[in-house]
């Protein structure tokens, strides 16, 4: 392990010095194919339907989404094997089977590589039910012969999360926190958190910014070109003075860096946030945010330091614009969210 680490660092240094033309890559295990993953489904008829379904939706869904949906079908298969061994196909399913599964899924333990003796999180439990409902609804909509004889899952079956979504920071907390962020010793955390609060972009979108992300308009000021993100769309967001100052400071420190392979687009990319030939990760931003909360002296009702997540900066950005009079439609265009129904 130590020798591999040294070889990686040496390769990285040679790439930055232009001695070699290809950057090093971390060795990662190969991803299992859809056909390999569904082998964990023990019922042959259900396995065949799941393979056909996942292969079909893979043409429109992202690989991670297809993988999560496969995991949910595997969980349902494991439940049938343990509690309903007489069920061998989807046509045998009844509402009673689903009701028993919903009770089991609510308190089922973690399994696989994260196995531990405690129930899965409410988010995981909810996702499993949603994936299973999509599976049944798609089969019925497409008229497949393998579909259950009647509708089995309904919107009211989807569990409600016990905790609400991240809320916007109170004005006083927002003010003190941003003042503390401006004093952080880590320049990456200082710049990244300032941009998250000043533009409302997502954490992943921030890390994927490239050098040409700033667009200057003669009549409308400077804008940030946000790359393809969660919803696979590109948009522009106006930049305020603190964000521009933070970007200028970072560019002064960044210096020349060689292009690195883009993880999704399969091309070299000049990422904005690069240090010594490597891309800093989200951990430093979260750690910097914790340090800023401690420096600001903000505490929760239990007396412990207030827990703030990077995504709350996005909520705070949106709330500030709404309170300033921006229309909901204009805000959605900035945040790239789906319109209300």
- pLDDT digit string, tens, across residues 19-41: 988 888 766 556 788 999 999 99
Q: Using pLDDT thresholds of 50, 70 and 90, give the confidence band for residue 139.
A: very high
Q: Which two three-digit tokens encode residue 267?
A: 């091309």
> Of the given ranges (134-148, 200-214, 296-310), which has the lowest mean pLDDT?
296-310
Whether the per-residue pLDDT at 231 is higher than 60: the answer is: no
Q: What is the mean pLDDT of the chain?
A: 88
- Cα–Cα dist 71/67, whole Å: 6
Q: Using pLDDT thresholds of 50, 70 and 90, give the confidence band for residue 339.
A: very low
The 3-state secondary structure of the chain reads CHHHHHHHHHHHHHHHCCCCCCCCCCCCCCCCCHHHHHHHCCCHHHHHHHHHHHHHHCCCCCHHHHHHHHHHHHHHHHHHHHHCCCCCCHHHCCHHHHHHHHHHHHHCEECHHHCEEEECCHHHHHHHHHHHHHHHHHHHHHCCCCCCCCCCCCHHHCCCCCCCCCCCCCHHHHHHHHHHHCCCCCHHHHHHHHHHHHHCCCHHHHHCCEHHHEEEECCCEEEEEECCCCCCCCEEEECCHHHHHHHHHHHHHHCCCCCEECCCCCCEECECCCECCECCCHHHHHHHHHHHHHHHCCECCCCCECCCCHHHHHHHHHHHHHHCCCCHHHHHHHHCCCCCC
Q: What is the pLDDT of residue 118?
A: 78
> Of the given ranges (204-208, 257-261, 285-289), which has the lowest mean pLDDT?
257-261
Q: Using pLDDT thresholds of 50, 70 and 90, give the confidence band for residue 329.
A: confident
Q: Using pLDDT thresholds of 50, 70 and 90, give the confidence band for residue 340.
A: very low
**Domains (ranges, CATH) in the chain?**
34-157 (1.10.150), 171-335 (1.10.443.10)
Q: Using pLDDT thresholds of 50, 70 and 90, give the confidence band for residue 16.
A: confident
Q: Are 47 and 54 in contact (CB under 8 A)?
A: no
Q: What is the pLDDT of residue 333?
A: 81
Query: What is the average per-residue pLDDT within 314-326?
Result: 91
Query: What is the average per-residue pLDDT within 50-67?
Result: 92
Q: What is the pLDDT of residue 24?
A: 84
Among 210, 202, 260, 259, CA closest to 232: 202
Query: What is the average per-residue pLDDT within 122-127?
Result: 89
The percentage of residues in the chain with a pLDDT greater than 70, rounded to a whole number, is 92
Query: What is the average per-residue pLDDT within 238-260?
Result: 90
Q: Using pLDDT thresholds of 50, 70 and 90, give the confidence band for residue 161.
A: confident
Q: What is the pLDDT of residue 115?
A: 54
- Cα–Cα dist 132/73, whole Å: 7
């Amino acid at each position: 392990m130590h020798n591999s680490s040294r070889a990686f660092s040496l390769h990285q240094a040679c790439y930055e010095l232009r001695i070699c033309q290809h950057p090093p890559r971390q060795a990662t295990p190969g991803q299992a194919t859809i056909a390999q993953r569904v082998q964990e489904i023990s019922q042959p008829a259900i396995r065949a339907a799941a393979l056909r379904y996942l292969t079909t939706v893979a043409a429109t869904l992202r690989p991670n989404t297809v993988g999560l949906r496969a995991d949910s079908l595997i969980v349902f298969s494991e439940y049938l094997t343990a509690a309903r061994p007489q069920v061998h196909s989807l046509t045998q399913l009844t509402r009673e089977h689903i009701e028993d599964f919903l009770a089991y899924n609510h308190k089922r333990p973690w399994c696989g590589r994260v196995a531990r003796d405690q129930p899965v999180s409410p988010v995981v439990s909810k996702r499993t039910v949603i994936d299973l409902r999509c599976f049944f609804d798609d089969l019925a909509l497409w008229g497949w012969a393998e579909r259950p004889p009647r509708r089995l899952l309904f919107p009211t079956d989807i569990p409600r999360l016990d905790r609400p979504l991240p809320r916007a920071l109170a004005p006083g907390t927002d003010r003190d926190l941003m003042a503390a962020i401006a004093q952080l010793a880590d320049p990456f955390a200082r710049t990244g958190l300032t941009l998250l609060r000043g533009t409302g972009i997502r954490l992943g979108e921030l890390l994927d910014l490239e050098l040409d992300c700033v667009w200057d308009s003669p009549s409308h000021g400077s804008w940030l070109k946000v790359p393809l993100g969660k919803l696979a769309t590109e948009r522009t967001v106006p930049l305020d003075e603190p964000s521009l100052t933070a970007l200028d400071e970072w560019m002064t420190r960044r210096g020349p860096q060689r292009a690195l392979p883009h993880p999704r687009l399969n091309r070299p990319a000049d990422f904005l946030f690069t240090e010594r030939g490597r891309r800093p990760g989200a951990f430093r931003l979260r750690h910097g945010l914790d340090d800023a909360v401690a420096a600001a002296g903000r505490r929760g009702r239990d007396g412990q330091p207030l827990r703030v997540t990077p995504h709350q900066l996005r909520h705070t950005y949106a709330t500030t614009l709404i309170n300033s009079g921006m229309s909901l439609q204009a805000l959605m265009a900035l945040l790239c969210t789906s319109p209300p129904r």
